[in-house]
């Protein structure tokens, strides 16, 4: 992507560039908002349910990371600055594993990403498991934040989409406790603001993937971490995807590496970026090396043997 923004020299400008892509998803035209910054190894970042790319603002602005990584984030259809498809008013949004995967692969293709490291949180942490299992040839490595194989609903999800309850208020109310109690106030409220801005029914629609369609418990053992190396980082205060859920993955996926992040909750990159970086940066260095090794191996192996 390229572009110049004319500004007064005294104004601080972030290195993030935003553009809209027009992609065919589910056979329909979609206007998808995508951002990138930095140069180097592609790092494709996936936001949580009911939120958007702003969750990755710290990674997208980290000068050290931007020297080695091309950081890319996009808003799923219906989220952030990506529009729902034409005719949305006649449909109820529900995210499926198939649609989610299609969107990610379409963005990766559109941006010509070669063996990107895919980094996802929550629903993003779940879909990276699907990608590592079903499309290992496409990704150099995967990093799951708050990854679990399945979550049972623990409250009536209908509260998230009722015309007599303010959607933004209730969505923020539902997720507020998922933020670690000691996370900085400014980042706590920034994270909640993103939830307050979600469209009606979008968070609930994402949770269809999270609580039903995306169940991958029986299949995670088949993930080949030699083809797609995998790291898992989970906050200790997350009661949605719990440390025990991540431990289950760590114990059932040969070669997966996992760590519990002390004091943190469900939105590490957004709720406490400074602390999160101390966990992420060593993992990214490992992932970069593992990506090079796995990519070489893939190039040596004929497709038919994959």
Interface residues with other proteins (CB under 8 A)?
154-155, 159, 164-166, 169-170, 172-174, 176-178, 181-182, 185, 188, 236-237, 239-240
User: Residue 160, exposed/middle/buried by CB under 10 A (0-12, 13-18, 19+)?
Assistant: buried
Tell me whether residue 54 or residue 188 sits nearer to other proteins (CB atom): 188
In the complex, minimum distance from the CB of residue 28 to other proteins, in angstroms, rounded to a whole number: 34
**Cα–Cα distance, 301 to 185 (Å, whole number):** 50
**Cα–Cα distance, 222 to 301 (Å, whole number):** 19
For residue 125, give the nearest of 54, 191, 60, 220 by alpha carbon: 220
Contact between 280 and 254 (Cβ < 8 Å):
no
In the complex, minimum distance from the CB of residue 238 to other proteins, in angstroms, rounded to a whole number: 8
**CB atoms near residue 96 (< 10 Å):** 15
Tell me whether residue 87 or residue 181 sits nearer to other proteins (CB atom): 181
Tell me whether residue 111 or residue 178 sits nearer to other proteins (CB atom): 178
Give the distance, in angstroms, between the CA of residue 66 and the centroid of all CA atoms in the same chain: 18
| Cα–Cα distance list, 286 to 58, 206, 220, 257, 276 (Å) | 20, 31, 22, 11, 16
Tell me whether residue 41 or residue 202 sits nearer to other proteins (CB atom): 202
Dihedrals phi, psi of 186, to nearest 5 degrees: -60, -40
In the complex, minimum distance from the CB of residue 284 to other proteins, in angstroms, rounded to a whole number: 26
Tell me whether residue 142 or residue 160 sits nearer to other proteins (CB atom): 160
Tell me whether residue 164 or residue 274 sits nearer to other proteins (CB atom): 164
In the complex, minimum distance from the CB of residue 305 to other proteins, in angstroms, rounded to a whole number: 44
In the complex, minimum distance from the CB of residue 264 to other proteins, in angstroms, rounded to a whole number: 10
Question: Taking each helix axis from N to C terminus, what angle separates 123-134 and 97-110, rounded to the nearest 10 degrees?
Answer: 80
**CB atoms near residue 164 (< 10 Å):** 4
Tell me whether residue 226 or residue 239 sits nearer to other proteins (CB atom): 239
In the complex, minimum distance from the CB of residue 207 to other proteins, in angstroms, rounded to a whole number: 14
**Cα–Cα distance, 236 to 169 (Å, whole number):** 25
In the complex, minimum distance from the CB of residue 20 to other proteins, in angstroms, rounded to a whole number: 33
In the complex, minimum distance from the CB of residue 191 to other proteins, in angstroms, rounded to a whole number: 12
Tell me whether residue 84 or residue 173 sits nearer to other proteins (CB atom): 173
């Amino acid at each position: 992507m390229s572009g110049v923004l004319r500004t007064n020299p005294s104004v601080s400008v972030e290195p993030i560039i935003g553009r809209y892509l027009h992609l065919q998803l589910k056979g329909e035209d979609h206007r998808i908002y995508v951002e990138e910054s930095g140069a180097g190894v592609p790092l494709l970042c996936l936001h949580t349910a009911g939120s958007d790319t702003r969750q990755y603002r710290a990674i997208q602005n980290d000068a050290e990371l931007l020297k080695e990584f091309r950081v890319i984030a996009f808003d799923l259809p219906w989220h952030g600055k990506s529009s729902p498809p034409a005719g949305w008013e006649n449909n109820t949004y529900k995210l499926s594993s198939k649609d989610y995967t299609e969107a990610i692969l379409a963005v990766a293709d559109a941006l010509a990403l070669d063996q990107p490291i895919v980094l996802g949180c929550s629903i993003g942490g779940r879909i990276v498991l699907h990608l590592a299992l079903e499309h290992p040839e496409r990704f150099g490595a995967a990093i799951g934040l708050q990854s679990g194989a399945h979550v049972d609903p623990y409250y009536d999800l209908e509260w998230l989409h009722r015309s007599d309850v303010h959607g933004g208020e209730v969505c923020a109310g539902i997720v507020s406790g998922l933020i670690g109690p000691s996370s900085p106030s400014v980042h706590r409220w920034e994270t909640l603001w993103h939830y307050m801005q979600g469209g009606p029914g979008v968070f609930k629609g994402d949770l269809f993937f999270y609580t039903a369609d995306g169940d991958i418990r029986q299949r995670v053992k088949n993930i080949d971490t030699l083809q797609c190396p995998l790291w898992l980082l989970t906050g200790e205060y997350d009661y949605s995807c719990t440390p025990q859920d991540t431990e289950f993955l760590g114990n059932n996926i040969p070669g997966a590496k996992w760590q519990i992040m002390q004091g943190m909750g469900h939105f590490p990159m957004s709720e406490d970026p400074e602390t999160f970086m101390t966990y992420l940066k060593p993992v990214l260095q490992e992932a970069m090396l593992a990506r090079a090794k796995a990519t070489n191996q893939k190039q040596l192996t004929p497709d038919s043997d994959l």
